[in-house]
Amino acid sequence: MGTKLASNFLGTNLTNLVRNTPLVRLSRFKGLPEGIALCAKLEKFNPGGSVKDRPVVWMIEEAIRSGHLTPGKTILDATSGNTGIAYAWVGALLGFPVLLAVPKSASLERKKLLEIYGARVIATDPLEGSDGAIRKAREIYEAAPDKYFYADQYGNPANWRAHYESTGPEIWEQTRGEVTHFVAGLGTSGSFTGVGRFLKKKNPDIRLVSVQPDSPLHGLEGLKHMESSIVPGIYDPALADENVFVSTEQAQSMVLRLAREEGVLAGPSSGAAWAAALQLASRLRENGRKALVVALFPDGGERYLSERFLENLSGAKT
């Protein structure tokens, strides 16, 4: 009977669980303007805990299909952490070694997770941020191109296509086509570009709001201050209807407020998207508009527990 059960059990590959994350309406937050529905797409519900599971599964599947990733090759890329975690678990599942260039400043939780999944990490100068990691990954690839599949999340079109084919359609279906605004932070820009292009195709009146840190030196892991960074090859500056700049402190205070007022434990880049969504909502309210705003929450706060802004919270005011 045991054998019969085992052979009848279809099971699923973990990569099939990437996508279909929940969209929740956040309605308890203090000061929310009336008439505007604000929703969060909680990407931490992907198997690797972040939005980056999507582009990684798309990039790896595409590379296997096209013959760029073959047995014996190592998956190589630069990452601020979440993409690395996605490469690490997908690599472990499919039997490919993973080598990552990661800024030393990446959170302790991320570095620990990479180690647990068995990925090899090269730490790069924290002052050079994600650009230092990109330069390192390119250098490693150029020294031995036959050894690696350099996924290049910043220039690989499968990154934004993952969101065009999954995140965008999910948001469209979950809001029954009623979404009016989409807000997301820019890192590689894959999520903003893919979702944005899909939503604009469905309804050109949907407004797209991109979010960036307000200064080159910031603590918003995963986000890029474009003006002072290596601009990702897949970034399309013409796509956003509006660009909003958020400070690290603003985003971090939103992390605490989201946890305490909505029960949502989100990471700082989600806090930044939420701060931008709130600003947008109050402007829309002033103009007497009704709206359904969707903000992308790339990961959960669990990944930042060791960070200073979450220390000594007993008396913290939000």
Catalytic residues: 52, 269
- Contact between 212 and ligand PLP (CB under 6 A)? no
CB of 258 to ligand PLP, least distance (A): 14
**Ramachandran bin of 288, using left for φ above 0, alpha for ψ from -120 to 50, beta for the remaining angles:** left
Task: Name the DSSP class of 126.
Answer: G
CB of 234 to ligand PLP, least distance (A): 9
Angle of helix 268-286 relative to helix 248-257, nearest 10 degrees, comes to 90
**Cα–Cα distance for residue pair 122/189, rounded to 1 Å:** 24
Q: Which of 15, 189, 210, 229 binds ligand PLP (CB under 6 A)?
A: 189
- Contact between 167 and ligand PLP (CB under 6 A)? no
Q: Which of 130-157 are b and which e, b meaning 16 or more Cβ less than 10 Å from the residue's Cβ?
A: bbbbbbbbeebbeeeeeebbbbbbbebb
Looking at residues 69 to 128 of the shown chain, list those that interact with ligand PLP (rule: CB under 6 A): 80, 82-83
CB of 9 to ligand PLP, least distance (A): 34
- Contact between 299 and ligand PLP (CB under 6 A)? yes
- Contact between 269 and ligand PLP (CB under 6 A)? yes
Angle of helix 53-66 relative to helix 82-94, nearest 10 degrees, comes to 50
135 - beta bridge partners?
A: none
Number of chain residues interacting with ligand PLP (CB under 6 A): 21
Q: Which of 134, 186, 265, 280 binds ligand PLP (CB under 6 A)?
A: 186
CB of 40 to ligand PLP, least distance (A): 13
Helix/strand/coil for 243: strand
Q: Which is nearer to ligand PLP, 164 or 192 (CB)?
A: 192
Block residue for tokens 């996508």: 19
Q: Which is nearer to ligand PLP, 36 or 240 (CB)?
A: 240
Binding site for ligand PLP (CB under 6 A): 50-52, 80, 82-83, 185-192, 221-223, 267, 269, 298-299
